[in-house]
Structure 1
């Protein structure tokens, strides 16, 4: 059986489309749907529970992050296969069967995904490598792609193969089995939001597992459906991207590299956000600029907490309280 685990936080409109697409799949291979709501607390939980009685709904005690929600769903699942799926996705009739068949026929694969397209038909980038010291920041990644153009082309060349093998796959669609999930103790709850998928793949890779993307099937992925509700929410999510980078650095880089990367991030982001905040004050009537004031405030609070508690973990993470 396949256990489909979806973590939701106030993304009910997108979630409904996702659940309707799952509800229309003929249950020929056996699957269950588990929706973990990260305490949306907006009155919609019971409505959805009644509207989709064949699916299991779990109410989390708080919004402790994507990784925490995934682990909670996996804990109550009964399937030997797990499919972690974003609520802003729409799945096709053949997707489950295709993913299962490919996974079973390629024992070297630990985590499997598929092609993701947005509502305009654009395909999500698939050539993903793990962050390294010289690839951690965007400008250096661009130089790396230019300098190692041949290496990238050879590894991700467009062939007749139905599979490509990146270092990591997006957490929006992750197919695996319970043995691999248990081997790495599931998702890392040090991450509240963002980069938990890169960390998951990194730990799987260290255990000898491969990541793959199937070109035989695809899903529709409508990005950002629940993370850009208002200015403060937008600032929060952008801040958490930065926080998750600090967490990833602390887990996967040696002490010298970690020190240098933390230093570069702190100085670089604070200088950038101070400048953009001044611009935001001057052009207060432009929300896109004003959001930087909230990001700067969030970063200052985060760095003060990091110094006080001697941890890079987000205060929103459940592990911050341990």
Structure 2
């Protein structure tokens, strides 16, 4: 396989373009994504000669009415059935008259300068028949399908069996996504993604358009390869990059996706590869389908049984220590021991009965609840004593060890759940997770509309702050936000994409709002306008929130006392340890207000303030945010930050 040279970073010229561009968008039931895409196209086509075509594959929403009402300049083709991606694109591309054709997915966002720079690139590289672009998903993560290599059997083998993931930069093993080529530079490549594929009319005609044998997936691979065989080059351009939501909205783990995608690979192999290669490819594809199906089933099983198995291992391991202590100090003072079958057979059986009690009474159901755990352990203890009473004398050992085991099982389960509470994404902790603390970056007069949209959507938003674009860094940190909403009627798409990429590594959820239209879009979610019902105010005033905070405080006290030999010698843990007595008698709480908390629900003095703000004027706002959310995970993160940094 021949090597693909990297191209120097191309800089756009300022020359005028007389080229005509035809943009083809195929839609199927994605009304709001389509509207957002057309809005971005409308801005990007300013000053250019562009005609836009939307082909609808029998959508059941009001997509085409929206296009007719809001974008009357768009050419519409309304199919009465879903004819597939290839047929629909060919319908419009073959009717259009542009010198260039851009196949564009409806779940994309173009920055304002994208079309001009892409056309100038094509004009400056006459051998380039097809051009792709660097794409990011809705979270700002690079989509590797932006540039790909030809999926020959060996390239597919390395991809299917994970070698491309193990060696992501290898020229040999990571060939499928051309991992050895920098994402930040322009390159000559082999395969582009159909989400954004700009072609010269000549290249399109010589390649014969999209092969209509494909229904979904694979058409872009086939077209890229056909363009190369026609004597043109295929290029990847790094900037100006676009957003493509497919990286989030497509359920690539589903078996249906696996079947459709790999079936498309089989069509490609039969068409372009020799018979021997095609048979080998077919075998690999079938293995891949079985492998992915097996992995999917195994993953579900592991997710269900992992926590009970960990509980059983913790219990069995701890019981060996307890049994040894009981032997030496109570049961066999003058020598002897319990038989191995009791230690390693009956003891794990006891643990299994406690786990059955937890399962039966919902102790593993999300969210984890203390009462279900305690009732499950009581049920398990009853089962064990019932089995003990009915067992022969030679397998009935110490009732005291059963009681000690019950105490150890309770402690182990509760302590493990406390540890899991520090990782809210797992959803296995005691305290409520998944709180939304959002910041709105846009016009201040639109803030009330955004509150209304979010309220009516049914989404619980625990905190919503209006943020100036220039203060985004400071506000994200001060209010511990996890979601950012951008006002597309105030910010350019170029700026929105820039900000999404900038903060992508921090795990935020990004959404884009259209206040005057009354909707917000992000990933695969739409929130529409409705009546105002308001955001929750001061959750810290509720009995449930205070109970959770007190439970958290006492859990930390127990944890610190267990670590006493270590804690009293470590400066930061030592401060916490000495304060644990005040927390125990409820004279203090671990995490308190950053300021004086005036006008907010009463809170005991905090050992650590929620934020160290150095009197920069945000104390009152930060305290209001903390009182509004009352998120125990915030307390946990604050303690961890203090232990790590002292701040």
Q: Residue 221 of structure 1: which of 235, 244, 252 is its match?
A: 244
Q: Residue 259 of structure 1: which of 255, 266, 279 is its match?
A: 279
Residue by residue, what CA displacement relative to the aligned partner does 1:194-229 show, whole Å, maximum 9, x if unpaired? 11111111111112211111223111111257655x
Cα pair 2:171 2:180 within 8 Å, conserved: no
Question: Please, which runs of 5 or more residues in structure 1 have no aligned partner?
Answer: 286-322
Cα distance change of structure 1 residues 147 and 175 upon mapping to structure 2, 3 Å threshold: closer
**Mapping of residues 14-29 of structure 1, within 5 Å:** 14-25=33-44, 27-29=46-48
Residue 259 of structure 1 and its aligned partner are, at CA, apart by 1.6
**TM-score after normalising by structure 1:** 0.76
Looking at structure 2, the residues matched to 133 and 211 of structure 1 have their Cα atoms a distance apart, in angstroms, of: 21
Looking at structure 1, the residues matched to 293 and 165 of structure 2 have their Cα atoms a distance apart, in angstroms, of: 26
2:166 matched to 1:149?
no
1:249 aligned residue: 269
Cα pair 2:147 2:236 within 8 Å, conserved: no
**Mapping of residues 182-221 of structure 1, within 5 Å:** 182-221=205-244
Cα distance change of structure 1 residues 47 and 120 upon mapping to structure 2, 3 Å threshold: closer
Cα distance change of structure 1 residues 259 and 11 upon mapping to structure 2, 3 Å threshold: same
Looking at structure 1, the residues matched to 168 and 139 of structure 2 have their Cα atoms a distance apart, in angstroms, of: 31
SS at match of 1:149: coil
2:293 matched to 1:273?
yes
Cα pair 1:109 1:209 within 8 Å, conserved: yes
Aligned length: 281
Looking at structure 2, the residues matched to 147 and 216 of structure 1 have their Cα atoms a distance apart, in angstroms, of: 22
Higher relative contact order (CA 8 A, sep 6+): 1
1:238 aligned residue: 258
Larger radius of gyration between Structure 1 and Structure 2: 2
Cα pair 1:134 1:140 within 8 Å, conserved: no
Q: Residue 3 of structure 1: which of 10, 22, 31 is its match?
A: 22
**Mapping of residues 289-308 of structure 1, within 5 Å:** none
Cα pair 2:24 2:54 within 8 Å, conserved: yes
1:290 aligned residue: none
Cα pair 1:38 1:63 within 8 Å, conserved: yes
Q: Residue 169 of structure 1: which of 192, 204, 225 is its match?
A: 192
2:133 matched to 1:114?
yes
Looking at structure 2, the residues matched to 98 and 67 of structure 1 have their Cα atoms a distance apart, in angstroms, of: 27
Cα distance change of structure 1 residues 150 and 271 upon mapping to structure 2, 3 Å threshold: closer
SS at match of 2:154: coil
Cα distance change of structure 1 residues 54 and 140 upon mapping to structure 2, 3 Å threshold: same
RMSD in angstroms over aligned alpha carbons? Answer: 3.5
2:98 aligned residue: 79
SS at match of 1:115: strand
Shifted more, 20-29 versus 5-14: the winner is: 20-29
Residue 235 of structure 1 and its aligned partner are, at CA, apart by 4.8
Residue 269 of structure 1 and its aligned partner are, at CA, apart by 2.5
Cα pair 2:148 2:189 within 8 Å, conserved: yes
1:130 aligned residue: 150
Residue by residue, what CA displacement relative to the aligned partner does 1:104-138 show, whole Å, maximum 9, x if unpaired? 11011110122212233222225521011211132
Looking at structure 2, the residues matched to 275 and 115 of structure 1 have their Cα atoms a distance apart, in angstroms, of: 30
Cα pair 1:37 1:59 within 8 Å, conserved: yes
Cα distance change of structure 1 residues 268 and 127 upon mapping to structure 2, 3 Å threshold: closer
Cα pair 2:203 2:230 within 8 Å, conserved: no
SS at match of 2:89: helix
SS at match of 1:165: strand
Looking at structure 1, the residues matched to 113 and 209 of structure 2 have their Cα atoms a distance apart, in angstroms, of: 27
Question: Please, which runs of 5 or more residues in structure 2 have no aligned partner?
Answer: 1-19, 305-364, 366-647
Residue 268 of structure 1 and its aligned partner are, at CA, apart by 5.1
